[in-house]
């Protein structure tokens, strides 16, 4: 009974905040509702027994995505384009949603071969082979060993997103006699950070780094892992950027480039060497698999942290040159 109340409350919150995020007349309210949606979604993951996903969602889905959205919303000029639509305009779309939802619910939840009667074979396979994988936590084992191919590609996707973002300057460039310069309208406004804010971020940033390190180390036996730790370290970078205490992150500095590309490249090197010299593509050698996984996780965490920090806080070169 209590579980039913919890489920219904979570569902009502999720659906109403999703609707509000799209249809709130003011864009900042919509973004706020989307961040709140992310936090309630993190609660839902905890309810459904997915703590790693809850950690990742709270850090990445609610936190970092909210920062990205708020930053992008600054570009929208005054007055904001109203997105308030009359209910009658939305009626065909709403009816379509309800119809499709009804059909899907009926199809998937009832009948003898409904999706809930099927028993997937994979969890038992994971259960059998987890002792050989090098880590004890099943989700980390799947991410870092059994489905390492997915994780490798994911690191490359992060890299590709960064390359795409680097093609576009964060503001309008104007041509001057000596080259190009950020136009006056897009130069960031320098504000002296408020001293209590600096003090509080001075408390939060070391705690975030500590939490990131803890999650990374604990990922082998408990919920945690490279992505959660990397996201929390990126959040620490965003926090420091807020008080203008972050050392300049520039693609032109070679340590930054080394950290960003290091994760994906290390993983690729491991994959190729296991393919040529070992048992097969991403088949880790048996006595050394824990060490290999931990090494890959540490480098991947740093790589993810710097990439996400660069995506969220922006390349400092773009604002000063």
Partner 1 sequence: MSNLATALSWILIAAGIGFFLTGALGLLRFPDIFTRLHAVTKTDTAGMGLLAAGLAIQAADLLDTLLLLFIWFLVMGSTSISCQLLARYSLERDPIDEFSLPNEQADSIKTGISKTGSKSAQQIKPTRENATQGRGDHG
Partner 2 sequence: MNSGAFYLSVGMAVFLIGLHGLLVLQDNLRRVIAVNLMGAGVFLVLVALATRTDPVDPVLQALAVTGLVVAISATAFALRLVSARIRHQQHKTKPDDGRLSSHKDKPR
Q: Which does 79 bind (CB under 5 to 8 A by kind): partner 1, partner 2, none?
A: partner 1
Q: Does 49 bind partner 2 (CB under 8 A)?
A: yes
CA dist., res. 135 & res. 126, Å (int) = 12
Site string for partner 2, 223-242 (x = CB under 8 A): --x-x---------------
Residues within window 256-315 making contact with partner 2, judged by CB under 8 A: 304, 308, 311-312
Q: Does 27 bind partner 1 (CB under 8 A)?
A: yes
User: At closest approach, how far in Å is the CB of 139 from partner 1?
Assistant: 22
Quick one: 28 or 289, whose CB is closer to partner 1?
28
Site string for partner 1, 200-219 (x = CB under 8 A): x--xx--x------------
User: At closest approach, how far in Å is the CB of 147 from partner 1?
Assistant: 32
CB 63 within 8 A of CB 23: no
Quick one: 77 or 287, whose CB is closer to partner 2?
77
User: At closest approach, how far in Å is the CB of 304 from partner 1?
Assistant: 24
Q: Which does 200 bind (CB under 5 to 8 A by kind): partner 1, partner 2, none?
A: partner 1
Q: Which does 196 bind (CB under 5 to 8 A by kind): partner 1, partner 2, none?
A: partner 1
Of 5, 159, 15, which is closest to residue 97 (Cα–Cα)? 15
Q: Does 37 bind partner 2 (CB under 8 A)?
A: yes
Q: Does 175 bind partner 2 (CB under 8 A)?
A: yes
Q: Does 118 bind partner 2 (CB under 8 A)?
A: yes
Interface pick for partner 2 out of 9, 129, 132, 174 (rule CB under 8 A): 174
Q: Which does 317 bind (CB under 5 to 8 A by kind): partner 1, partner 2, none?
A: none
**SS in 3 state form for the chain?**
CHHHHHHHHHHHHHHHHHHHHHHCCCHHHHHHHHHHHHHHHHHHHHHCCCHHHHHHHHHHHHHHHHHHHHHHHCCCCCCCCCCCCCHHHHHHHHHHHHHHHHHHHHHHHCCCCCCCCCCCCHHHHHHHHHHHCCCCCHHHHHHHHHCHHHHHHHHHHHHHHHHHHHCCCCCCEEEECCEEEECHHHCCCCCCCCHHHHHHHHHHHHHHHHHHHHHHHHCCCCCCCHHHHHHHHHHHHHHHHHCCCCCCCCCCCHHHHHHHHHHHHHHHHHHHHHHHHCCCCCCCCCCCHHHHHHHHHHHHHHHHHHHHHHHHHCCHHHHHC
Q: Does 29 bind partner 1 (CB under 8 A)?
A: yes
Interface pick for partner 2 out of 9, 26, 29, 71 (rule CB under 8 A): 71
Q: Does 13 bind partner 1 (CB under 8 A)?
A: no
Interface pick for partner 2 out of 26, 90, 197, 275 (rule CB under 8 A): 90
Q: Does 65 bind partner 1 (CB under 8 A)?
A: no
- Considering all CA atoms of the chain, what is the largest pairwise distance in Å, rounded to the nearest integer? 74
The CA-atom distances, in angstroms, between 82 and each of 77, 86, 92 are 12, 12, 21
Interface residues toward partner 1, by CB under 8 A: 26-29, 73-80, 184-187, 189, 194, 196-197, 200, 203-204, 207
């Amino acid at each position: 009974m209590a579980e039913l109340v919890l489920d219904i409350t979570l569902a009502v919150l999720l659906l109403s905040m999703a609707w509000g995020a799209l249809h709130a007349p003011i864009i900042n309210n919509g973004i706020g509702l989307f961040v709140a949606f992310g936090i309630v979604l993190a609660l839902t993951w905890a309810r459904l027994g997915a703590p790693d996903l809850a950690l990742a969602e709270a850090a990445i889905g609610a936190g970092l995505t909210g920062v990205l959205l708020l930053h992008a919303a600054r570009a929208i000029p005054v007055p904001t384009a109203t997105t308030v639509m009359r209910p009658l305009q939305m009626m065909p779309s709403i009816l379509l949603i309800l119809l499709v939802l009804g059909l899907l619910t009926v199809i998937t939840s009832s009948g003898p071969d409904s999706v809930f009667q099927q028993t997937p074979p994979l969890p038992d396979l994971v259960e059998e082979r987890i002792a050989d994988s090098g880590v004890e936590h099943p989700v980390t084992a799947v991410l870092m060993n059994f489905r390492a191919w997915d994780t490798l590609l994911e690191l490359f996707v992060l890299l590709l997103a960064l390359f795409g973002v680097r093609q576009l300057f964060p503001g309008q460039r104007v041509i001057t006699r000596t080259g190009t310069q950020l136009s006056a309208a897009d130069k960031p406004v320098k504000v002296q950070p408020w001293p209590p804010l600096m003090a509080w971020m001075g408390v939060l940033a070391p705690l975030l780094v500590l939490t990131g390190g803890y999650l990374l180390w604990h990922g082998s036996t408990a919920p945690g892992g490279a992505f959660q730790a990397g996201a929390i370290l990126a959040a620490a970078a965003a926090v420091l950027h807020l008080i203008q205490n972050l050392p300049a992150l520039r693609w032109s500095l070679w340590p930054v480039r080394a950290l960003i590309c290091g994760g994906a490249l290390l993983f690729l090197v491991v994959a190729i060497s296991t393919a040529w010299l070992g048992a097969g593509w991403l088949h880790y050698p048996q006595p050394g698999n824990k060490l290999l996984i931990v090494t890959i996780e540490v480098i991947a965490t740093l790589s993810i942290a710097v990439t996400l920090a660069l995506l969220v806080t922006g390349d400092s070169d773009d604002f000063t040159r």
